[in-house]
């Protein structure tokens, strides 16, 4: 009796054909950098190689992925749908490789925060986080600019602003108020400001990455002649407050930046009772697809507990 052959179905037969991996890498890098040149530098290939790989991917998908411009490229509507999916796929592959290569690295979480917040509020509390979460290694990155999660490897950030990106997960940390502060020495000088309108004759210390903060407070007081942009300009609140400590002018304070100086008398609040709510709020932010990662949840839960225990912060929105 002849042997009967049984055909076994190919387990991959129903899977859609995967585009070439090199082409996917080239597209993801070019989308993240916003240019073929940036992708070429990252992947150590020529710019023409990136262009060729992207073209091959466009041919395989039968869609255009980029609008080519002189010095940059812009994602098409189809690419804006495809890029976040591909970015997360590469992130998961990288996370899996870390898990196998070095189990300890799976607990590394990269957090971006403003330098002033990091130095004045976060770092003094970090021993508590390390003690309660010895399995999580925190990597801190400071910047005055908000995270571009599309082009950054940061896991999460602490930012002041508004929850205006649908792809991101926001958890409210606290609110804050704006109020002018200065050194006791400046307040003791002749011509010291006695009312908000007197600030037009003072040097106002401006933080240019947060340039609207001074205007929010001045407009709320009806002050029109004071111009904070005409005074000394700094790239962080920490530098502006340090300049105020030296008597160089009047700085704007907000929680949690000046709690210590106000308690010790190194700085004084110029107009008690005239604080103005900052229209922006403080948030812990991460990508939606990563919000349930254990390491991110551990950091988020710890931050919320620390905020709840700080009586200087305004928790309600």
Of residues 154, 173, 123, the one with CA closest to residue 301: 173
Q: What is the DSSP string of 95-134?
A: HHHHHHH-GGGGGEEEEEE-HHHIIIIIGGGHHHHHHH-T
Of residues 149, 122, 151, 152, the one with CA closest to residue 138: 122
Q: Which domain range does residue 202 map to? A: 177-277
168 and 290, same domain (yes or no): yes
Q: Is residue 4 part of a domain?
A: no
Q: Is residue 133 part of a domain?
A: yes
208 and 244, same domain (yes or no): yes
Residue with tokens 């999580």, as numbered in its chain: 136
Q: Is residue 6 part of a domain?
A: no
161 and 285, same domain (yes or no): yes
pTM score, two decimals? 0.70
Q: Is residue 9 part of a domain?
A: no
Question: Residue 252: is it exposed, middle or buried by C-beta count within 10 angstroms (0-12/13-18/19+)?
Answer: buried
pLDDT in tens, the chain (317 residues): 555 545 455 555 556 678 888 999 999 999 988 889 888 998 989 999 999 999 999 998 999 999 888 777 889 999 988 988 888 888 778 777 766 665 445 588 999 999 999 999 999 999 999 999 998 999 999 988 888 887 777 899 999 999 988 889 999 999 999 999 999 999 998 888 999 999 999 999 999 999 999 999 999 999 999 999 998 999 999 999 999 999 999 999 999 999 999 999 999 999 999 999 999 999 999 998 888 888 999 999 999 999 999 988 887 66
- Enumerate residues 6+ apart whose C-beta is below 8 A from 45: 26
144 and 289, same domain (yes or no): yes
Q: What is the DSSP letter of 221?
A: T
CATH code assigned at 106: 3.40.190.10
Q: Is residue 12 part of a domain?
A: no
């Amino acid at each position: 009796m002849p042997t009967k052959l049984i055909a076994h179905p190919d387990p991959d037969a129903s899977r859609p054909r995967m585009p070439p991996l090199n082409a996917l890498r080239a597209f993801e890098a070019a989308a993240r950098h916003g240019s073929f040149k940036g992708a070429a530098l990252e992947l150590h290939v020529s710019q023409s190689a990136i262009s060729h790989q992207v073209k091959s991917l466009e041919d395989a998908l039968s869609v255009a992925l980029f609008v080519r411009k002189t010095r940059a490229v812009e994602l098409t509507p189809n690419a804006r749908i495809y890029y976040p999916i591909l970015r997360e796929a590469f992130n998961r592959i990288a996370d899996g490789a870390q898990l196998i290569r070095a189990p300890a690295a799976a607990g590394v979480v990269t957090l971006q925060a403003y330098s002033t917040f990091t130095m004045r509020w976060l770092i003094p509390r970090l021993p508590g986080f390390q003690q309660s979460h010895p399995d999580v290694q925190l990597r801190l990155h400071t910047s005055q600019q908000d995270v571009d999660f599309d082009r950054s490897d940061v896991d999460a950030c602490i930012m002041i602003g508004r929850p205006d990106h649908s792809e991101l997960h926001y958890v409210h940390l606290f609110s804050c108020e704006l109020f002018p502060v200065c050194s006791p020495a400046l307040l003791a000088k002749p011509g010291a400001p006695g009312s908000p309108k007197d600030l037009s004759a003072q040097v106002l210390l401006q933080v240019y990455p947060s340039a609207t903060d001074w205007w929010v407070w001045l407009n709320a007081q009806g002050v029109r002649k004071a111009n904070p942009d005409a005074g000394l300009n700094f790239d962080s609140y920490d530098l502006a407050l340090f300049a105020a400590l030296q008597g160089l002018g009047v700085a704007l304070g907000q929680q949690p930046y000046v709690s210590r100086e106000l308690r010790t008398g190194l700085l004084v609040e110029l107009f008690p009772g005239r604080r103005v709510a900052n229209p922006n709020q403080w948030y812990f932010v991460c990508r939606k697809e990563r919000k349930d990662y254990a390491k991110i949840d551990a950091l988020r839960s710890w931050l919320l507990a620390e905020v709840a225990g700080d009586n200087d912060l305004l928790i309600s929105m």
